[in-house]
Structure 1
């Protein structure tokens, strides 16, 4: 085996090993690596005290997301 062939084989092995490790970690954590994001915009015309960026968003008592941005409009 020539030196160049050996380097190619080692590089290929390392690349496949890294890809397999990443796939294993994603499988272990239950994530696909791509998460669907649905953005909702809400307009409140009354007091929203207690609402803060990073706060939980709940639907029927279950956490379904978090507040990512807040703005004031005139």
Structure 2
């Protein structure tokens, strides 16, 4: 389910931030999409570029949040 959702969202032009916002919103809850899900996102056929897809969605989201916080900090300094 997660894999299909992510494929649909990214093919539709949604950025990671938009996906994260949707997952944390009330609409995401209504759709049954929760950021605490332990579902693994794995590709159907392994390839050299699919390493990120083997991480859980939660880890990706946490990385995204840390990156946003770092970017906000850099923006405040400059």
With structure 2 as the length reference, what TM-score do the two structures score?
Answer: 0.19
| More helix per residue | 2
Q: Which has the larger radius of gyration?
A: 1
| More strand per residue | 1
Higher relative contact order by CA 8 Å / sep ≥ 6: 1 or 2? 2
